[in-house]
Amino acid sequence: MHDFSFKRGKLYCENVSVASLAKKHGSPLYVYSHTTLTRNFEQLDDALSPVDHLVCYSPKANSNLAVLRTLANAGSGFDIVSGGELRRVIAAGGDPSKCVFAGVGKSEEEIELALKKGIYAFNAESEPELIRINKVARLLKKKAPIAVRVNPNVDAKTHAKITTGTYDNKFGIAFEEIEGVYERTAKLKHLHLRGLQMHIGSQLTEIGPFEKAANKIVPLAKRLAEKHGIEFFSIGGGVGIAYESALESGDAKWWRSPKRKNVLTPAKYAAKLVPLLKPLGLRILVEPGRFIAGNAGILITRVEYVKQTGVKNFVIVDAAMNDLARPALYDSFHEIVPLTRKAGDHRKKNQISSDVVGPICESGDYFCKNRPLPKVGEGDYLALLSAGAYGFVMASNYNVRPFPAEVLVKGSQAEVVRKRQPIKQLWASESVPKWLE
């Protein structure tokens, strides 16, 4: 459920016409819905209400300050992966004592910062990391709160590049070794064993792998609670979203018959997991990124040219793989719709098999291939849907292209929450050595 829909043929974000935003702010432009962000958070939060829990949004999915503030206001904690993310969360008004710090490569500086800010727990991923955290905590005369990430060796059945819970992946410590690690960690004087964490992958569209992993890990969490007094178990993030027919709440059928994948809802997720988790009596943490932000954002782009080659109909747009990298990186699907629909657009005879491509000098710079789309021409705007998670955050300046602007909409209000990057900023930190003059 989200707040992008067609009204009288025009795409709206909440009560704001998306075309009016494109005209005012130019393109490429990310547009986010405050109501969708908040609703997604609340749905998950409510579904977990039978257990003591904390939803820790993953800023890696979308770390715009206004998005973080929206979630902090809703009561969210944060699942950070760098010192930079911690600073951003604090800058946005987030509470460090509701932050968990994940990642396999935490530097001494990052550990020091997190200890000074008083985070809730480090999700440690190796024994060398535990030794390092202990050392930094000793120097600061503190006790570091720790959860160890267990790798349950369960296949999440998602894209290979976002599978994290098998022994082929760099993440966590093998299930069989965990209890030994807790024994040794308990002897490190500057650590306080507070929890256990897992995360098996991202964009899971079925409950099965979550259940399988939870069934395997819950008895372990129970033993660790008895022996080491841990107080929380984090089941990670990974709840998938519908990328196909993302306009399900609007009049999507004009576009094509919805082929909706079996997507996890918070209710389905909680119905299976709460009965497994509740008997533990531990605080449950979840770390959703995509579920909260994915369908809360779209990327607007303008058609520059239509190039017909006899073989292909290339729709060349002003957004590119540097603005939204997911199709190039993971072959991922983003639904593409014109901002203004015309009568009959949904008819096959009015559609043309198209490749929507960006201006970057790589053949991987495409948003879709051979997809039936209504005919569009120079100057028309298109929206790439479900681009709120892993969209802007993965943008780069490749081909010396500035970062796009971002707008947040709430009801009838719309505000630029990130200005389009001024072009000179792209080389502002560079210099030419004197000896080249």
Task: List residues binding ligand LLP (CB under 6 A).
Answer: 58, 60-61, 79, 102, 162, 164, 199, 202-203, 236-239, 287-291, 326, 330, 389-390
Residue 152 or 238 with smaller CB distance to ligand LLP: 238
Compute the Cα dihedral for 81, 82, 84, 88 and give only its sign: positive
Q: Which residues participate in catalysis according to the annotation?
A: 361
Shortest distance (Å) from residue 120 CB to ligand LLP: 14
Shortest distance (Å) from residue 253 CB to ligand LLP: 27
Residue 158 or 354 with smaller CB distance to ligand LLP: 158
Residue 24 or 161 with smaller CB distance to ligand LLP: 161
Sequence-distant (≥ 6) Cβ neighbours of residue 83 within 8 angstroms: 107, 109, 110, 113, 114
Quick check: bond before 28 cis, omega within 30?
Answer: yes
Shortest distance (Å) from residue 148 CB to ligand LLP: 13
Residue 30 or 291 with smaller CB distance to ligand LLP: 291
Q: Which of 96, 98, 146 is nearest to 117 (CA)?
A: 96
| Helices assigned H by DSSP within 266-385 | 266-277, 290-293, 326-330
Report how far residue 283's alpha carbon sits from residue 278's, in angstroms, rounded to the nearest whole number.
9
Sequence-distant (≥ 6) Cβ neighbours of residue 74 within 8 angstroms: 37, 38, 41, 42, 45
Q: Which of 170, 158, 145 is nearest to 207 (CA)?
A: 158
Q: Which of 16, 19, 2, 8 is nearest to 254 (CA)?
A: 8
Shortest distance (Å) from residue 183 CB to ligand LLP: 24
Residue 21 or 319 with smaller CB distance to ligand LLP: 319
Q: What values do phi and psi take at 55, rounded to 5?
A: -85, 120
Shortest distance (Å) from residue 383 CB to ligand LLP: 18
